Structure 1
Amino acid sequence: MQLDATLKVGKEILAQQPFSTLLGAELEKFEEGYAELSLEIKEDLKQNNGFAHGGVVSYMADNCITFAGASVLGACVTSEYKINYVRPSIGDRLIAKANVLHAGKRQSTCECKVFVRDGGEEKLVAVALGTISKIQAS
């Protein structure tokens, strides 16, 4: 089943994810081969040094690559990903931008860059690469 890769559909799917709702994630763009998520860096999402916790940055990359993969595969899950942290996330908002590098019938390879917005400037904080697998109907 091909997913209707529209922002409206994507926002409906995100709203069905309790963890995403808990964090306050917002889907900004969702189109074939591309997705963009953003998240306000609230105090309770920071670690002891005052920047966004690595788990929150990792969530952003993971969920964003899965949305990008879903835009070409339909219902899917992350089967693996790796993340490289570039710098601490010091700012007011995280922005994840993912695109599909390659898509087959059952999986896609996607990359994501996560930025922090500090004032008006976006700074790269992490880069992730992952494999997204189609969920087979049973």
Structure 2
Amino acid sequence: MTDLKKRIEDSFILQGLMETFGARLLSVKDGEVQIELPYAKSLTQQQGFLHAGAVTSIADSACGYAALTKAPEGCDIVSAEFKINMLRPAIGEKFIATGTVENAGRNLTVCRGEVVAISGETRKLVALMQATMVNVRV
């Protein structure tokens, strides 16, 4: 797992969008990855909530990296499809996206993503994602 964790960390650093957002890799476990995003006014929509595009991006990346923990050697991951439900406005000091592998096949991996908004001690689930990731030979 240590080599895989390093591989995911090295890949995450190369993601320009995550860098632009100020997101960071929070944890890597077998079949689960968490990404943290601090609130930034530059990532909001017109009402001051975190933009759905930012919420979707961190959920997608968390699911992709969770899938990578299960991918065969010599493969990378790309998103094939996802569906996201915004459950409530994304209001918080920071946001944590958790990607979890539900089923890892030879070519496709299905993941569940959750995004939680955190303000002080309060945690609220703001989005749910279902994603299909593809193993791509590199």
TM-score scaled by length of structure 1: 0.92
Shift of 1:11: 2.1
What is the alpha-carbon distance in structure 2 between the residues aligned to residue 9 and residue 24 of structure 1? 20
Aligned to 1:97: 98
Aligned to 1:129: 130
Shift of 1:4: 3.6
Shift of 1:17: 0.9
What is the alpha-carbon distance in structure 1 between the residues aligned to residue 25 and residue 8 of structure 2? 7
Conservation of the 8 A alpha-carbon contact between 1:5 and 1:32:
no
> Which of 53, 65, 68 lines up with 2:63 in the alignment?
65
Aligned to 2:121: 120
Shift of 1:41: 1.1
Q: Which runs of 5+ in 2 are unaligned?
A: none
Determine helix, strand or coil for the equivalent of 1:44.
helix
> Deviation string for 1:71-112 (max 9, x for gaps)?
111411010000000000111111001110000111110001
Q: How does 1:3-42 map to 2 (within 5 A)?
A: 4-6=3-5, 8-42=6-40
Determine helix, strand or coil for the equivalent of 2:92.
coil
Shift of 1:21: 0.6
Determine helix, strand or coil for the equivalent of 1:95.
strand
> Deviation string for 1:7-44 (max 9, x for gaps)?
x4322211111111111111111121010001011010
What is the alpha-carbon distance in structure 2 between the residues aligned to residue 77 and residue 115 of structure 1? 23
TM-score scaled by length of structure 2: 0.92
Shift of 1:5: 2.8
RMSD: 1.6
Determine helix, strand or coil for the equivalent of 1:72.
coil
What is the alpha-carbon distance in structure 1 between the residues aligned to residue 122 and residue 9 of structure 2? 26
- Which residue identity is paired with 2:4? A
Q: Which runs of 5+ in 1 are unaligned?
A: none
- Which residue identity is paired with 2:36? S
What is the alpha-carbon distance in structure 2 between the residues aligned to residue 24 and residue 9 of structure 1? 20
Determine helix, strand or coil for the equivalent of 1:68.
helix
Conservation of the 8 A alpha-carbon contact between 1:4 and 1:71:
no
